[in-house]
Chain A
Amino acid sequence: MTWIFENWDKFLELTAVHLRLAVVPVLIGLVISIPLGWVASRSRVASAVLLPLSNILYTIPSLAMIVIMPALIGSKILDEINVVIPLAIYTVALLIRGISDALRAVPGHVVAAATAMGFRPLRRFITVEFPLAVPVTIAGLRVAMVSNISMVSIGALVGLGGYGQLFIEGYQSNQDKVWAGLIATIVLALIADTLLQVAGRVLTPWVRAGR
């Protein structure tokens, strides 16, 4: 732990990298899963393809996926994209089923009422249907965010940064570094999780109404 205070600048730098590698995939994953979830909620065929596919992608170990990336997309071994893409894929896999289920669970009479009031489909999706899927989406995001934050470390095995670097360096020289990385990871995950939880509460006041 003392390592953190003695190497504050290095620590901040690692934190920035770690955060970037964890958060960017979550954002990308979110942006991709909303339309995919919508498609899966609408079409049987699409959901029969997308859901099993996302399950299979989710089974591929992160280390394997990170290692395969350069061969797959022709990136450099040390390119951050090798971590970002796998984590984004896991995020999509985590979110897509929940979003599609939640969209499908929007009561037909609510959608009918919106249609009958003169909502056009896109506006109806943005203002009525998706908001009702927000609680599930946030729940998925929380899982994705926490597991991403803990998974980023794996990237260090192929030389891609974050706190994982502390584990590797610590293994060779200094147990304190490992503890520093471990605790920093958990604290970061906790903070991110709490922020998302609070955001969820603020965004969905109706969920706690009438309970």
Chain B
Amino acid sequence: MGWLFDAENWSGATGIPVRLLEHLAYTWLTLLIAAVIAVPLGAYVGHTGRGGFLIVGLTNGLRALPTMAVLILVVLWAGIGDLPVYTALVLLAIPPIMAGTYAGIRAVEPATVDAARGVGMRERAVLLQVELPNSLPLVFGGFRSAALQVVATATIAAYVGAGGLGRYVFDGLAFQEYDQMLGGAVLVAVLAVLVDLVFVGLQRLTVSPGLRPVGTGGKS
């Protein structure tokens, strides 16, 4: 564990703080892109009830997709850069977010939705004011698993030359510097736990305490 506490590794352009921020940047931007794609899709399908099988199929299919292969293929096609990293990570983050949104909306009491229509809400309002707020616990559950997987998998991006904490793992591997490899691994694990805690906190803040989140599985 010496490597972790060596002051030398905590400064400079390849120091731990820089790599940590890179890692976090991958995570946030990935989640943002995935959310823009997955939330409307999940909400639409959940609201209309049409195409549920599509969500399930897509979720399962994407879950089976090996991130490494995607990463490599996009690199071979477009070269090293941000594109392969985000493509792979966004594909990873979409299923849990989409499934969470879809499940959340489907789980809203039909009576509640009925009542909303009964008081004269239009479909848009039903979705935005009733279904989405009520589905927050499950939507959050989806984001939480997505974040977890992205933090974990962003590590692998280093394999195709990207930054982030994965660098330490791969550099350590390449140069047989076991200490550095282990240190990187521990940092990723700690970061994953912290990010998870942040999401638990967010969830507590925004969701009524009576409702418990349910994660939608899969990880890398």
Contacts and interface: CB of A to CB of B under 8 A. Distances in A.
A touches B in complex, CB < 8 A = yes
Interface of A: 55-56, 58-65, 67-68, 71, 90, 94, 140, 143-144, 146-147, 149-151, 153-154, 156-158, 163-164, 167, 170-171, 175, 178-179, 181-182, 185-186, 189-190, 193
A76 to B, nearest CB: 13
A147 B59 CA distance: 11
A135 to B, nearest CB: 16
Contacts, number: 132
A163 B72 CA distance: 13
B148 A146 contact: no
B115 interface: no
Contact of A146 (B64, B72, B185): B64
A61 B66 contact: no
Interface string B141-166: 00000001001110110011000001
A61 B148 CA distance: 8
Nearest to B145: A58
Contacts of B169: 63-64, 67
A61 B188 contact: yes
B60 A146 contact: yes
Interface in B147-203: 148, 151-153, 155-156, 159-160, 166, 169-170, 173, 178, 181-182, 184-186, 188-189, 192-193, 196
Contacts of A178: 69, 72-73, 76
A68 B148 contact: no
A179 B61 CA distance: 16
Nearest to A163: B66
Majority secondary structure of chain A interface residues (helix, strand, loop or mixed): helix
Contacts of A149: 64
A167 B173 CA distance: 17
Nearest to B159: A157
A60 B185 CA distance: 9
B24 interface: no
Contacts of B188: 60-61, 63-64
B218 A68 contact: no
Given A59-B193, A67-B173, A182-B70, 17 more contacts: A59-B148, A59-B152, A59-B196, A61-B189, A61-B192, A64-B155, A64-B169, A64-B186, A65-B189, A143-B217, A144-B217, A153-B69, A164-B66, A175-B73, A181-B69, A182-B73, A193-B64
A193 B60 contact: yes
A71 B180 CA distance: 13
A153 B68 CA distance: 8
Interface in B50-101: 60-61, 63-70, 72-73, 75-76
Given A61-B185, A64-B155, A150 B72 contact: no
B220 interface: yes
A154 B68 contact: yes
B219 interface: yes
Contacts of A170: 72
Given A68-B182, A147-B218, A179-B73, A63 B64 contact: no
A167 B69 contact: yes
A103 B176 CA distance: 47
Given A63-B169, A67-B185, A171-B76, A190 B218 contact: no
B185 to A, nearest CB: 3
Given A150-B64, A193-B60, A61 B151 contact: yes
B218 A61 contact: no
A178 B65 CA distance: 12
Nearest to B166: A63
A60 B76 CA distance: 29
